[in-house]
Amino acid sequence: MRPTGSDPPGGAPPSGVRTVPPVPVVSTRIVLVRHGEALCNVTGVVGGRTGCTGLSPAGVREAEALRARLVGSGELAAAAAVYASVLPRALETAAIAAPGLRGMEAVPDCELCELHPGDADGLTWVEFADRYGGPDWDRHPDAVLAPGGESWTGFVRRVSTVLTATAARHRGELVVIFCHGGVVEASMEAFFPVAPGRGRLRLRTAHTSLTEWELGPDGWLLLRYNDAAHLAGVTP
């Protein structure tokens, strides 16, 4: 095989054995940004549309640190579109970080929300446990969180669908999405071939961290996860 492009003189490893895939000619990049710390995180409230009341003071500082990073680095300035969950904590984070995205306003999309809690929305987690007990998603991922809410498998399916549709709508572009820790984990389960029965990944996704996916001709590739370097020195 004759070397082409940027391949070394001795040629590139065959695709079946190479550990670092080549950069595709056309790729779509999606950066998932978790929101800053929310008031519902601090108070222990189920944070759906009723329970979410926006960012905590610490969450605002985290979002401001993200903004300073993005303005200084310009790393996401080429974004063609910005989307966000409809929950206040995600929308507020997007609004604060907007100067680092050329001032682009996030388009809200409920499909990007955290797992829908149904009747548990707005309860404290103590009240939730007393009323519903709580499903064991590692054993029963099809169980709903509460009446009218989603199951874990339904949530992963929703996230996979919306991210795939977004990538198709913005082929060859960079898209930034302000969302939730659950959305980040669901993307991992959707785009990584996790063994059946393994259970959830139980990721510790930091507030305002960046997770970046690339969609090329060979499928989804994780470029970075939990990039929160901008939080160094931010007081809790």
pLDDT for position 190: 92
Find how far residue 42's CA is from the centre of its chain: 20
pLDDT for position 2: 36
Residues of the chain predicted below pLDDT 50 = 1-5
pLDDT for position 172: 96
**Domains plus CATH for the chain?**
28-231 (3.40.50.1240)
pLDDT for position 4: 44
Contacts with 107 (C-beta within 8 Å, 6 or more apart), sequence order: 81, 82, 83, 84
Sequence-ordered alpha helix ranges (H) in 29-170: 39-43, 57-73, 88-97, 125-132, 152-169
pLDDT for position 37: 98
pLDDT for position 192: 83
pLDDT for position 154: 96
117-140 pLDDT tens trace: 999 999 999 999 999 998 999 889
pLDDT for position 18: 61
Joined together, the tokens standing for residue 193 give 């071939």
Phi, psi of 116 (to 5 degrees): -70, 125
Distance between CA atoms of residues 147 and 167, nearest Å = 32
pLDDT for position 77: 97
- Cα 138 to Cα 134, 143, 198: the distances in Å are 12, 10, 7
Distance between CA atoms of residues 80 and 49, nearest Å = 28
